[in-house]
Chain A
Amino acid sequence: MYRYDEFDHAFVKARVAEFGDQVARRLSGTLTEDEFKPLRLMNGVYLQLHAYMLRIAIPYGSLSPRQLRKLAHIARTYDKGYGHFTTRQNLQFHWPKLTDVPKILEELAEVEMHCIQTSGNCIRNVTADHFAGAAADEVADPRPYAEILRQWSSLHPEFSYLPRKFKIAVTGAERDRAAIEVHDIGLHLKKNDKGELGFAVYVGGGLGRTPMVAKKIRDFLPEQDLLSYTTAILRVYNLNGRRDNKYKARIKILVHETGTEELTAAVEAEYAALKDSELRLPDADIRAIETYFKPPRLAARPEGDRAVATAGKTNPGFADWLGRNATTHRNPDYACVTISLKGIGEVPGDASDAQMDAIADLAEQYGNDEIRVSHEQNLILPHVARADLPALHAALVEIGLATANAGLITDIIACPGLDYCALANARSIPVAQEISQRFASQARQAEIGDLQVKISGCINACGHHHVGHIGILGVEKKGAELYQITLGGSAREGSTIGEIIGRGFGPEEITDAVETIVETYLAHRQGREETFLDAYRRLGQAPFKEALYGHEARAA
């Protein structure tokens, strides 16, 4: 993992002191709310329905056990005993007192964490594949580049007042687990014919009010040019992005209104001017950052196959969990383990202080001291010996975190919605809970197979509903909650935006509607190997429309 150097420590310490002073001035009344609001947002402090909210950056979703224990401690000491992992690989506390925030930030700084740039019109926390450095299908670890971007973008003077927020995601594998095509910039780390590392660059993706899939504007950018090219994109955006209308201010609108070709030409022109500047990354610098992410020394554990086979025979719960929650590691003796924060009927992404502590222990005991947060709101232990999987599973069962549902219909992404969020139109979490309960049966979930349900409580789309195979958007209609369904979205490579299927459903109808959609899929699929998404792409909307609304049309 990356370790702060002296500069980083001093930088975060100075920022904590500065914000502590600003909070004190706010509390004493020397700063008005109008003056303070932009300052608190720059430090991750929001106001929600019931209290303030503090959003903590987890750079590219990587956590050490020590950091996770600190988060547990903060949850216990300053909050209400839990935290919420978000779709941006961050963590939110929903109940901090403003008076406690400076102390919380001091505690975070002790473990090299902070809340800088978790809000505001700046470059936000850079996200990455949660299996980075471990996945079998990876060309190279994307995290060193995410770290370079983090350092470069932190309080970047030129890019601190962008037209709107700006999100960058990086993946190092063909299989896109970081949703790069729905980010402002998506970077796909790959090798060219000569075996050199570089990036395919995607620009202008995003969800929210106007969802768009990013355009690829470069097929191969040499790794040394990462910052000059990113700077070129940001510069073109900063100069030309719209500032007259908040809803048209993201780079996706600029790409759309300018046209991909023209925008690419503008970026390439800037890049040509910057290419040989000090932004060019010396090879030695990249390799130096890389050493922080050296893979752990993984001892040979060839007994894994036997251990797993034996446990699978005697414990069906283990077999299910292994099938869903263990992913192929580049070392055949190891696996990447998904710890589902989606227990049946639980709040997606929430973890209690005790669970966080327990996961930190398990990461030390079985996981080579590494933990990741996935944008799917689960936690990951990226390096677990297969031989240890039975013991790890047993330990997870003890703390209620062994749900075998990674990628299944109950592994639902849901934003906080109207239970917490001041911007929400409808609740998200209760919908997720009810769907999860309806499909609780492991056998039924397995029969349905891969199916991503994603729920947002408003058009801001923090729950990524546009890219859910089944997406659910909460709206308010005549003072009541109404849920709109989109089908066929995907955030994987070749991303697609889901299509609205028809009129919305009330809170009492939405789970039935989802069930109808699932049953329609099961009735029409060509076999178990045809996933929901594949079937939808083949069939189109018609059978789903008919199943959901056919009776109404006939009655009319």
Chain B
Amino acid sequence: MKILAANRLTDGETVWLGAGDRWVETIDAAHVARDKEAEERLSAAGDAALAANLVLDVTLVDIDLSDGRVLPSRLRERIRAGGPSIHPDLGKQARNAAQHAA
């Protein structure tokens, strides 16, 4: 299974392609491609977004679903989805923690 990751042009924020071809800021909202055809659709949407100068560094990322949640296979992509492992107070993980606490 794969999802499509990129960085947003304006601020570099890591984003994933979500439902309705919208770029979302949390990996949980990423659209999961379960077959080749769906992957190709993701790639095409990524190419279009690159050409439209919305994002850069568009890449397909291997994932598993664990308890229904998206879990990238590579540590690199897991860190990208959360933030620096040394700074739980920074990046997306901090925002998620704040939301959970709220």
Contacts and interface: CB of A to CB of B under 8 A. Distances in A.
Given A50-B14, A479-B75, A419 B86 contact: yes
A83 to B, nearest CB: 14
Contacts of A422: 57
A52 B12 contact: yes
A98 interface: yes
A178 to B, nearest CB: 29
B84 A419 contact: yes
Contacts of B96: none
A433 B85 CA distance: 12
Nearest to B10: A99
Nearest to A29: B53
Given A29-B52, A47-B7, A418-B79, A429 B13 contact: no
A199 interface: no
Nearest to B89: A80
B57 A47 contact: yes
A424 interface: yes
A419 B76 CA distance: 8
Interface residues of B, number: 27
A80 B90 contact: yes
A50 to B, nearest CB: 5
B84 A420 contact: yes
B86 to A, nearest CB: 5
B84 A51 contact: no
Nearest to A28: B53
Interface in B12-32: 12-14
B73 A26 contact: no
B50 interface: yes
A99 B12 CA distance: 10
Interface in A222-270: none
Interface in B43-68: 50-53, 56-57
B80 A49 contact: yes
A347 B84 CA distance: 11
A95 B57 CA distance: 16
B97 to A, nearest CB: 15
A446 B96 CA distance: 43
Interface string A475-502: 0100111000000000000000000000
Nearest to A45: B12
A294 interface: no
A33 B10 contact: no
Given A26-B53, A99-B10, A50 B84 contact: yes
A98 B11 contact: yes
B53 A50 contact: no
A32 interface: yes
Contacts of B73: 479
Interface string A172-205: 0000000000000000000000000000000000
Contacts of A347: 86
A433 B11 CA distance: 29
A501 B78 CA distance: 31
A103 interface: no
Given A33-B50, A418-B75, A50 B10 contact: no
Contacts of A433: 86
Interface string B67-102: 000000111100110011111001110000000000
A27 B57 contact: no
Interface of B: 7, 9-14, 50-53, 56-57, 73-76, 79-80, 83-87, 90-92
